[in-house]
Amino acid sequence: MTFVVPFDGSKLAETALVRAREFSDVLEEESVVAVVVVPNENTEYARDRGWLRPEEPFETDSVVERLHKQVMALAPSADFRHLAVDRYAPLGTIASAVRDFANETGASMVFIGSENAGHMVTGISSVGSNVATEDAYDVVIIRNKTPSKIAAIRDSSPYKPPKSDFYIS
């Protein structure tokens, strides 16, 4: 089984990643993949998500490295991938990239952090809504930003060392 987590660095994405790792531990599955979709040279998009400090220029490598470190702090044994899309890609393009990635990797579950998840999946108005419509995998929607285990996991992890330090300079 492969668990895919669309990761944008938000608290809900962190929570989704931790949940995926917890599921993989319980099910004795080792494949958790965090996937980041980065619109090329879109400084505003990156700032809105906290990927850049004020006045910091957009550099894809810096953004990816920052997100990779964040993923490794929460799920050291997770794989990390990043995808690039056009600078002004709409949410639908970003969702399609995540959906295609999930299908290509044979995802059995996708863990989506979404603040506006309602009682019906079709009520989600974000990247998550488009990813959640795919029927090739199950979807876990994370709405609670503060599971009790996140701080403990970040501070002390008995899990394997990171699989990759490719994006860490």
Domains of the chain: 2-155 (3.40.50.620)
Contact yes or no for 114/5 (Cβ under 8 A):
no
pTM listed for this prediction = 0.77
According to DSSP, residue 11 is labeled H
The half-sphere exposure of 96 on its side-chain side, counting CA atoms within 13 A, is 8
Nearest C-alpha neighbor of 36 from the set 86, 107, 84: 84
According to DSSP, residue 111 is labeled E
Could you list the pLDDT tens digit for every one of the 169 residues in the chain? Answer: 799 999 999 999 999 999 999 888 888 877 999 999 999 999 999 999 999 998 899 999 999 999 999 999 999 999 999 999 999 888 789 889 999 999 999 999 999 987 654 444 444 444 555 555 556 677 788 877 765 555 555 554 444 455 655 565 5
Q: How far apart are the first and last CA of the chain?
A: 31
Residues 16 and 8: their CA atoms lie apart, in Å, by 11
